Chains A and B, each alone.
Chain A
Amino acid sequence: MAVKSGARSSGRWLVVTIPYLWLLALFLVPFLIVFKISLSQDAIAQPPYLPTFDLSEGWAAFKDAFGELSFENYGYVLSWDNEFIEAYGSSLWIAGISTILLLLVGYPIAYGMARAPKSIRPTLLMLVILPFWTSFLIRVYAWIGILSPEGLLNQLLIALGIISPDAPLQILATDTAVYIGIVYSYLPFMILPLYSALEKMDETLLEAAADLGCPPFAAFWKITWPLSLPGVFAGCLLCFIPAVGEFVIPDLLGGSDTLMIGKVLWTEFSVNRSWTVSSAVAVLLLMVLVIPIVFYQNLQAREVEGR
């Protein structure tokens, strides 16, 4: 018996340890490295920053290297002379507006799906998920052909005589195109949590309200909306957090004046080749997002484990 329980606990130990170590090494440690590099200085060397910690050079050298770390890069990023603060603000703004638009677009769809006959619900659900499986890049790319000045939307509007051929709508390379891109790409993330909250709702509550003379719209505000709030929170966070750091959509659909922090980080890293500044940008972005991320984690942990 002792042998068996020994085998059992060692198996159990392995099941916990392997993914734990994996995530420590490839998720947590990388963040510590980013933090360390954000405190370093750019250098023309391999790797392109200083100081580098090398324990083989002894403890004194290690301590010296430690003394060379500074918050200089944060001062640079947070100075008003550079456009970083503006980029953080505009990312939060664009992500916020997009999240509100997503909720306005997604809620009626999720609501309709939750009220559809039970037999067709799985099909509707599958139709919402299917675009999510197809490539994100492809879905953003599809909009370039639609929104460009000689694109399909302008062709349609010109054919209908709504706008003149000489003055096509300039949507591509504006913030409007970024909103359209984000709403389009993230819509399934908004619909699914809303749907699962609305589907669980007890219909008899609405019937009771109607029997007691409550008009449908008031019943919606007093019953349906409060009961769907967990889905609303989950959907909004699931869209808002990644949208703040979005890179592909502003890069392909936005204009040169569309300022988003994900794009700034990418440029700082791949064009300006400053690893230290881009690390500082990443750390600050994480600090901006840490409250919504923790909030989302708690929500998710409760949802999955607490049933």
Chain B
Amino acid sequence: MRKGLSWFNVTSIALGFAFLYIPIVLLVIYSFNASRLVTVWAGFSTHWYWQLFQNEQLLDAAWVTLRVAFLTATVATVLGTMAAITLTRYGRFLGRTLFSGMVYAPLVMPEVITGLSLLLLFVAVGLDRGFWTITLAHITFTLCFVSVVVQSRLVTFDRSLEEAALDLGCTPFRTFFVITLPIILPAVVSGWMLAFTLSLDDLVIASFTTGPGATTLPMRIYSQVRLGVTPEINAACTILIAIVTVVVIIASVMTKRQEMERQKAERMAAAEA
């Protein structure tokens, strides 16, 4: 049996990646189109980007979105990590099945249901809808994603390190911050980023739970997209794509470096022993 890639494997990977990337590449290219007609190429221009920076509605929406995403990611990371610890460390406890159900269900729950149910809750308790209700809604559905990411790191974790610290008299609280957290940090960081981009991206839940005065960027883009494709939206999308790409690449380089350092430390420890 021949190992490695067959022509079939190479073709399917190439076609798959072409399918994934060509639409995005075209979108980026046409954001530099001089013509107002998006589908007719009329030469290179950065006109639409300048236009974009004068569009105050869009800039406002971007600012709201960034604040929501930042708050969401931070709170969701704390809560999601707690949920992950609960599910991987605490064994059986009363109501565990319900808890794990509530952690996994939002991962696949259709957004229209989550959005509608949260809106009805906010109405029922008489909360003014706007910035804070969007943030609460986003924290709720993103914390589940964080929890899954962190759990997958916690289960491969060598618990004897924690036990050693506890045996030597370290408090559980300190053990978490000195031993556990540094080891699971890459997962916590990627959980934070996942929550951040999910919040940045969300249209449906935000549309349900928002109120007057709080319009997020996806909501603004969506209402313009319904009127048709414009190069200005292409430009806005290109900027978003650029931000996300840079963040993801930096994060993956960081995780890789940390992983390599960890392996190096392990090798040195093994050599000393």
- Which A residues contact B (CB, under 8 angstroms)? 4, 7-8, 11-12, 15-16, 18-20, 22-24, 26-31, 33-34, 37, 47, 105-106, 108-109, 111-113, 115-117, 122, 124, 126-131, 133-139, 141-146, 148, 150-152, 155, 184, 187, 191, 203, 206-207, 210-211, 237-238, 241-242, 244-248, 252, 262, 265-266, 269, 275, 278-279, 282, 285-286, 289, 292-293, 296-297, 300-301, 304-305, 307
Contact = CB atoms under 8 A, between A and B. Distances in A.
A275 B120 contact: yes
A245 B112 contact: yes
Contacts of A244: 110
Contacts of B98: 28
Contact of B24 (A19, A131, A144): A131
Interface string B16-51: 110111011011001000000011000000000000
Contacts of B109: 241-242, 293
Given A245-B112, A304-B151, 10 more contacts: A23-B103, A27-B105, A30-B118, A33-B120, A33-B124, A144-B225, A145-B39, A146-B23, A187-B20, A297-B105
**Candidate in B39, B108, B143 with the most chain A CB atoms within 10 angstroms:** B108
A133 B124 CA distance: 34
Given A11-B173, A16-B93, A145-B38, A135 B24 contact: no
B116 A279 contact: yes
Contacts of A191: 16
Nearest to B22: A146
A304 B107 contact: no
Given A11-B172, A187-B20, A26 B103 contact: no
Given A265-B112, A297-B105, A142 B23 contact: yes
B85 interface: yes
B200 A112 contact: no
Contacts of A112: 5, 8-10, 12-13, 16
A139 B24 contact: yes
A29 B82 contact: no
A136 B241 CA distance: 11
B27 A141 contact: yes
Counting chain A CB atoms within 10 Å of each CB, which of B16, B139, B245 scores highest? B16
B148 interface: yes
A279 B120 contact: yes
Main secondary structure of the interface of B (DSSP, over half): helix
B201 to A, nearest CB: 5
Contacts of A247: 111-112, 204
Contacts of A207: 1
Contacts of B226: 252
A275 B118 CA distance: 13
B35 to A, nearest CB: 12
A22 B143 contact: yes
A210 B1 contact: yes
B13 A109 contact: yes
> Across chains A and B, which 9 residue pairs bring their CB atoms closest together, nearest first?
A245-B110, A30-B117, A108-B12, A112-B9, A109-B16, A142-B23, A210-B1, A30-B121, A23-B102
B46 to A, nearest CB: 19
B124 A19 contact: no
A296 B104 contact: yes
B86 A115 contact: no
29 contacts: A20-B86, A22-B143, A26-B121, A31-B117, A37-B120, A105-B16, A105-B19, A112-B8, A116-B5, A116-B13, A131-B21, A134-B241, A135-B240, A136-B203, A137-B201, A138-B240, A141-B221, A142-B237, A145-B39, A184-B20, A187-B20, A191-B16, A241-B109, A242-B108, A245-B110, A285-B110, A305-B88, A305-B151, A307-B156
A34 B117 contact: yes
A47 B124 contact: yes
Contact of B252 (A126, A138, A265, A269): A126
Contacts of A117: 4-5
